[in-house]
A and B are shown apart, each in its own frame.
Chain A
């Protein structure tokens, strides 16, 4: 066999040519070639040994003194801890590997892999990772709060300058990800963490991945439903970074409205809500929409004026919003362009992060995030935060959650919003309706759906390794 290995001709591999090459390998733009080479040369002479987390002498399990539990994540428990080397508070995510048949959880691996490439004030910092007693520990900077908590906090008044500040930080974080060819794919207020100095940081990269080559096929089952871009709702599998922009637009709207903007109860209801808000796209407006895998035709409804949905927003804010909510992904604004939008240069200037309002202090038992689920003051803004990884019945779950929302909404006392939300209902039809031909198509789709669910189940199985058939792996090129 050794002989055989040595003789493996280089040509053997040729038919394995993978045109879906790594996005990030992409074009080293030739005009910049010289620059790059020089850069490399310069760094070569003075190349330092690979950077390690500073003092490795100290065993990490000694270094991070464990404190209280902060929360239970999808794939691990998060503890508060104290780093005795830097004297800083950190958050340690502990992932149990004990009897895992597939070793390190891919979600955890993804998060580590991508965060190791990212370092920016608006992206959560991965401080360290280490194994200890059958567990993998990931150390993050400690975050006081998150944007969901801020939005829900009835005692906080968000000024236009505050909102601008949050949006700027969000888009700065996104721009860095996109520059590095990383899609976040789980943008929502709950995943925008807030540090003690007021800096907002993108967190939770468990669904994120590298993108770039045009033919790469991804799963469209990403994002919490309310933050899903229309191309995802129609099943697009080769989407780009602007899916994150759509979600950021939803967050922008949520900051203005102080409640989630488009609260659909399922994929179709969600699209209906999108079209009700922005109008059913005309052919010229989004030519490719009909070619998307799960396209369903909706009855034409014109877009209500955006002003009517956001009565308190400035002209500049509305203009940026409309560009982030452009239905055709090809024409949607990029993170970098959004940062250059005049909204960010016009008055009022964004609030300095350290001057942003802070959520009211919480009881000491759970100092990071208050469980405000049953807060008396008004409707609960509950994003379907756990729905996204429960792939099997996402619609159901979203439905249940939205029911909770409306129940508590009718039960609570009215909230004092700065803006007339009741007006919203008038101008804002519940959702656009599906046409006759759309319905026929839908029937077919429903039949396909059970197949899709099966596939989903298989994917989950293979992730937890229940499939004993070694042949199965030929199919393992999962579109994630």
Chain B
């Protein structure tokens, strides 16, 4: 069963961490910094989550949508494809790909409620095609949630579930899903949860014989998010977004 992820397109599409953070040349021209890009991604990931709560989809659809969003912007600039349209379109596409289709007009309905943007269904459907191309039609995404549950069971650490699950949710506010195997992300979240909850799972980790450096790198990313981006001042978000071409 483990052979699964390792032969998937998701695995083949994994990127090196340094490559993911790079600012697209077109965005650079508009004065966007690496920091701006990071903030826009976090902001839009949160936006996808908010939208998803209104249109009521499964956790997994949200996670897939955010992954699509982040993957698209490793290839396209924010100045090229407006994130305000890409975010809801990712949610729409993910709902179809995960077999729990949401109607296009419903997504647009809530999009109009939450933002001032005046995109219509037609715009979203056009963007859907562009996203499919940008994603190279690779749509199957693996997530850390399922390995998390199974690993916790194996480690006999069920009491960490709530904490570790929240941590996994927060990894979607980073590009981790584009750079590490979901199974490693799950392990890092368990590792992190052990520290937070003061549980000793050293022997269990040792027996796994996984690359602890990788686990630490993932944990560092999560720490960086909590330290620096958990609540971003609105001015910062606006200043980043204002560098994008104003479409409306």
Which residues of A are at the interface with B, using a C-beta cutoff of 8 A?
A: 1-11, 13-14, 16-22, 24-30, 32-37, 39-41, 43-44, 47, 50-52, 97, 100-104, 106, 109-110, 112-114, 116-117, 129-131, 136, 179-181, 209-210, 213, 462-463, 465, 467, 470, 472-474, 476-478, 480
Contacts and interface: CB of A to CB of B under 8 A. Distances in A.
B2 A28 contact: yes
A3 B238 CA distance: 12
A24 B105 contact: no
A181 B4 contact: yes
Contact of A116 (B138, B169, B170, B182): B138
Contacts of A36: 2, 5-6, 181, 183
User: Which 5 pairs from chain A and chain B are nearest by CB?
Assistant: A25-B146, A10-B166, A21-B146, A5-B46, A103-B125
B221 interface: no
B155 to A, nearest CB: 9
A51 B13 CA distance: 9
A473 B102 contact: yes
Interface of B: 1-9, 11-16, 43, 46-47, 49-50, 55-60, 92, 95-97, 99-106, 109, 114, 121, 124-125, 128-129, 132-133, 136-140, 142-147, 149-151, 154, 162, 165-167, 169-170, 181-184, 208-211, 214, 230-232, 234, 237
B101 A10 contact: no
18 contacts: A2-B234, A5-B49, A6-B43, A10-B166, A10-B167, A11-B162, A13-B49, A18-B58, A24-B140, A35-B2, A50-B138, A101-B104, A106-B96, A110-B99, A113-B139, A116-B138, A129-B132, A473-B103
Contact of A27 (B2, B43, B114, B124): B2
Nearest to B95: A476
A90 B87 CA distance: 35
A130 B145 contact: no
A18 B114 CA distance: 26
Contacts of A26: 1, 4, 146-147, 150
A24 B142 contact: yes
B4 A37 contact: no
Contact of A18 (B1, B14, B60, B140): B60
A4 B149 CA distance: 29
Contacts of A209: 99
Contacts of B1: 26-29
Given A25-B146, A106-B101, A117-B9, A5 B43 contact: yes
B6 to A, nearest CB: 6
A463 B99 CA distance: 11
A224 B95 CA distance: 27
Nearest to A129: B137
B102 to A, nearest CB: 5
B2 A104 contact: no
B104 A51 contact: no
Contact of A103 (B13, B56, B128, B230): B128
A467 B99 CA distance: 18
A27 B147 contact: yes
A180 B3 CA distance: 8
B129 A97 contact: yes
A480 B99 CA distance: 7
A32 B147 CA distance: 13
Contacts of B102: 473, 476
B129 A104 contact: yes
Contact of A109 (B97, B136, B165, B181): B97
A24 B5 contact: yes
Nearest to B140: A117
Nearest to B127: A103
Given A2-B43, A102-B101, A113-B140, A470 B58 contact: no
Given A37-B214, A102-B103, A103-B104, A109 B139 contact: yes
B7 A180 contact: yes
Contact of B143 (A3, A22, A28, A112): A22
Contact of A25 (B106, B137, B143, B210): B143
B16 A102 contact: no
Nearest to B179: A44
Nearest to A105: B96
Given A114-B140, A130-B133, A472-B103, 5 more contacts: A8-B50, A21-B60, A24-B8, A39-B6, A109-B96
A34 B209 contact: yes
Contacts of A17: 59, 145, 165
Contacts of A21: 60, 143, 145-146, 149
Nearest to A182: B140
A113 B97 contact: yes
A32 B2 CA distance: 7
A10 B226 CA distance: 11
Contacts of B55: 473
Contacts of B100: 476-478
B47 A29 contact: no
A165 B245 CA distance: 60
Contacts of B136: 50, 52
Nearest to A48: B12
Contact of B237 (A2, A47, A100): A2
A34 B60 contact: no
Contacts of B106: 470, 473
Given A5-B43, A5-B47, A11 B166 contact: yes
Contacts of B139: 109, 112-113, 116
B210 A33 contact: yes
Contacts of A210: 140
Contacts of A478: 99-101
A472 B102 CA distance: 10
Contacts of B209: 33-34
